[in-house]
Amino acid sequence: MSPMRRQRSASSRARGLVVDTDTGLLGGASFVPSPNCDDRPAGVVADLVIVHGISLPPGEFGGPWIDRLFTNELSPDAHPYFATVAELRVSSHLLIRRDGELTQYVPFHRRAWHAGASSWQGRERCNDYSIGIELEGTDDTPYASSQYAMLARVIATLCRAYPALTAERVVGHSDVAPGRKTDPGLAFDWPRLRTLVQFELEVTPE
């Protein structure tokens, strides 16, 4: 089966999302497997969520290009910008599109290649112990309400599935790679997200 063929996880619920902790997959997300992942170090579990922003080409939304980047199928000839990134071997665990649609590329128990050279609170190699979530957007374009709502639901679901994760341990790519990365950018409303996550945890408990 082609890695570009989307497969709907069977473990979704009517209201909320749910993680199958055996497979590391999120019910309600389409699964597009990325080869750009590997095992976390022995004994290491995810205890940090890193929020990213991405658009391909820059500033444009929609299309198959993010899927193709994360599955090593991005043609450098499809757009002038793609020649600068087509050879990258990167991935993230999840992507949230502008309309809130979810795509998963890497199971949560595996290490996605999203943070690069990074550290948080003196601990380096954030890929080892984090879950990466991409939002389709740019640093200076307001993110969509549907994205905030879905991101909050996802974070709350992850906190329930993985006890080492908490609502306080959610940061931006710019926080773990300052000076090198700027996403999700000044357009991202952190107070709004944290209020929504708290709502999801308190009002819609497991």
State the catalytic residues.
Answer: 134
The DSSP secondary-structure symbol of 181 reads -
Tokens of 41: 């170090």
Q: Are 197 and 167 in contact (CB under 8 A)?
A: yes
Tokens of 99: 């309309």
Residue 202 parent element (H or E): helix 190-203
Question: In angstroms, what is the C-alpha Rg of the chain?
Answer: 16
With DSSP H G I counted as helix, E B as strand and the rest as coil, what are the percentages for the chain, rounded to 5? Answer: 25, 20, 55
Cα 110 to Cα 14, 69, 145: the distances in Å are 27, 19, 29
Q: How many residues does the chain have?
A: 206
What's the maximum distance between 2 C-alpha atoms anywhere in the chain?
48
Alpha carbons 110 and 63: distance in angstroms, whole number: 26
Alpha carbons 10 and 72: distance in angstroms, whole number: 26
